[in-house]
Structure 1
Amino acid sequence: MEEKILVTGPTGNVGTHVVRQLLAAGVPVRTVAHSRNSIEALRKAGTEVFEADFGEPGSMHAVFDGISRVFLLTPLVPHMVRMGATLVEEAKKAGVKHIVRLSGMGADAAPGITLGRWHREVEREIEDSGIAYTFLRPNSFMQTYAVFFGESIKNRDAFYLPAGDGKVSLVDTRDVAGVAVEALTKKGHEGKAYTLTGPEALSNTRVSEILSEVTGRAIRYVDVSDESARHRMKNAQIPDWLIDVLMELYQLHREGATSAVLPTVEQVTGKPPIDFRQFALDHVEAFK
């Protein structure tokens, strides 16, 4: 019987699809969760679930037992680096042979932005551990528009960002998961760092045009000032540290620094990446 693969962050934008695609391929999956709803849903999906909390390192000991391959996703929190280091240490103790780490585009840039530096620090922890690795460095996710801007689009026919006319080669999380599954189940990906993008770079004006065509309504992109964006996020109860992280990212988008289009998804998976129109069609209910 094939060995189980451990998937951390199994209910998030990427982890959900990693779990689905592994199970669809007949690969047994172990997941880790701590909320009752998540545990029940993951069990119903067919995974072995360990109840643990990343914030309590002691609860993670048993999670890695008998595991040789791990999809490592850590939540975006101020202590992400410390959390990542703890998980890598536990993986090493348990004899894990290969870690596929969800990082971020530009993690290797210097000096980079805060989020990129955090990702790179976790990458270094993995490199220093001696465990074989594959780093996935995706651009911003298409799913962001459904998850974070869906309500605004539904209720106001608009979404608001301080991103100017900058273009971003948005990537679908299903494609990110597809690359992860290839790296977890096939040889030849060890020691690689894959930057993942969609098939085209889009401005938010173009995104709004596609959403308008798909929904049959006029959807507007409103380019707001940094001050206005900060005010909106503060009103949404987003913590100051996360606002700072996001504003750095939006500046990169505004400058066109995340517009590169790369063939990595198709090279690794053998399938062309999903474009934004297909994403919008598949998630149209999030915008109606």
Structure 2
Amino acid sequence: MSKPVLLIIGAAGNNGVATIDALVRKHQDQYVIRAGVRSEDKAAALRQRFPGVETVLLDLDRPATLAPAFTGVNKLFLIIGNVPNREEHAKNAIDAAVAAGSVEHVLFFSVVGAEYEAILFARQFRFGEKYLEASGLKWTHLRTIFFQDNFVGWADGIKQGAFYFGIRDGRFAPLNVADIGEIAANILCSGGHAGKAYNITGPELLGGEDFARIFSSVTGKPVSHVSPDNATTLKSMIDSGWPEWQSKGLVELFNLFGDNLAAVVSPDGEQLLGRPLTTMGAYVAAHKAAFV
């Protein structure tokens, strides 16, 4: 009897790699794991790291490239990348899943608060959620929050003793990428998730001063939180090479954090993971070299 086929679109990104890692560790004997990527270089890197994984080239900007990737696919994990046309990419992938005729379930990577459509990122992902809900396919939304792993991008300032993060006095619960990968793998390889939207946060609410204390404790050096204004944050991101659309979206997100509109710890993650979620302190300790 042939094994069910799991397709991960966005497989070369951090969340895709974390999901494949968990699938290989826990479920490789039961499933064919197929990784959808844009380039042969990315495919080769995945094959080298995960020798038992199939790779397939596809381009969400070119719908004609999608059909071969979906041949025989039973379940899809759809991770749309950091692109301004997220809505178009979601539509193209969902249309291909419908056309394939074999897809039984789609797990859709989204963001906490998507249902409110209050900021750019929420509106982008909510479009994909709604399009999937109307497609006739069984669906599950995996709504995630800002990742602990993202803070490596703030390492230069932390090394100099300042954590520049424009959330004022707001708090939120950052999530670990490895945790979300394992959660996604658990959903893909079990039943009872159709028609559900899971909110996945980290295990603890943290503000700027809390982050600074963690960085200071782990590195052994004093670190202070500095909350720049919106204009300063936007200029810093653009100057660092972030696209303007994404930089503006992040400023919106940081203001949402600053207003405590995401100050919640959801139980969904720990329930789906089956163990405690990774704390920010544990993440920084495990990656200390990046911050010192």
TM-score normalised by L of structure 2: 0.93
Out of 105, 125, 129, the residue aligned to residue 98 of structure 1 is: 105
Name the amino acid aligned to 2:5: K
2:169 maps to amino acid: D
Q: Distance in 2 between matches of 1:104 and 1:162?
A: 20
Q: Secondary structure at the match of 2:237?
A: helix
User: Structure 1 residue 24 and structure 2 residue 29: aligned?
Assistant: no
What secondary structure, in the 3-state scheme, does the structure 2 residue paired with 1:17 have?
helix
- SS of equivalent residue, structure 1 residue 259: coil
- Give the direction of change, closer, same or farther, for the CA distance of 1:43–1:229 in structure 2 (3 Å limit): same
Match of 1:143 among 131, 146, 149: 149
Q: Contact (CA 8 Å) 1:22, 1:28: kept in 2 or not?
A: no
Secondary structure at 1:195's aligned position in 2? strand
Q: 1:207 aligns with which of 200, 207, 211?
A: 211
Distance apart, 1:152 and its partner CA: 3.3
CA distance in 1: counterparts of 2:225 and 2:235, whole angstroms: 18
The aligned counterpart of 1:15 is: 16
1:189 matched to 2:204? The reply is: no
**Residues 13-50 of structure 1, C-alpha deviation per residue, up to 9 Å, x if partnerless?**
21111000001122431011123431111111121111
Aligned-pair Cα RMSD in Å: 1.4
Report the 3-state secondary structure (helix = DSSP H, G, I; strand = E; otherwise coil) of the residue aligned with 2:77: strand
Report the counterpart of residue 276 of structure 2 in structure 1.
272
Q: What amino acid is aligned across from residue 12 of structure 1 in structure 2?
A: G
**Structure 1 residues 94 and 145, CA gap change in structure 2 (3 angstroms):** same
Q: SS at 1:136's partner residue? A: strand
Amino acid at match of 2:215: L
Cα deviation digits, residues 162-191 of structure 1 (max 9, x gap) = 210110111111221222111100010111
**1:225-251 C-alpha deviation (Å, 9 max, x unpaired):** 111112212212322211221111011
Is 1:153 equivalent to 2:154 in the alignment? no
Q: How does 1:77-92 map to 2 (within 5 A)?
A: 77-92=83-98
Match of 2:254 among 233, 238, 250: 250
Task: Report if aligned partners of 1:32, 1:63 keep a CA contact under 8 Å in 2.
Answer: yes
1:282 and 1:191 map into 2 onto residues whose CA distance is 36
* C-alpha distance in 2 between matches for 1:193 and 1:171: 17
Could you tell me how far apart the structure 1 residues matched to 2:147 and 2:112 are?
11
Unpaired runs of at least 5, structure 1: none
Aligned match of 1:57 in 44, 52, 63? 63
Which one-letter code corresponds to 2:109 in the other structure? L
- Shift, 1:85, TM fit: 0.3
Shift of the alpha carbon at 1:145?
Answer: 0.5
Find 1:222's aligned residue among 199, 209, 226. 226
CA distance in 2, matches of 1:14, 1:126: 20
Distance 1:7 1:158 in 2: 38
CA distance in 1, matches of 2:218, 2:199: 29
Tell me, in whole angstroms, the C-alpha distance in 1 between the residues paired with 2:125 and 2:44. 30
Percent identical pairs in the alignment equals: 29
1:142 shift after superposition = 0.8
Q: Shift of the alpha carbon at 1:286?
A: 1.8
Gaps of 5+ in 2: none
Cα drift, residue 55 of structure 1: 1.9
Alignment: residue pair count: 285
Kept in 1: contact 2:6–2:34 (CA 8 A): yes
Partner of 1:130: 136
Does the 8 Å CA contact 1:10/1:19 hold for their aligned counterparts? yes
Query: 1:158 touches 1:222 (CA, 8 Å); kept in 2?
Result: yes
Deviation at 1:212, TM superposition (A): 1.2
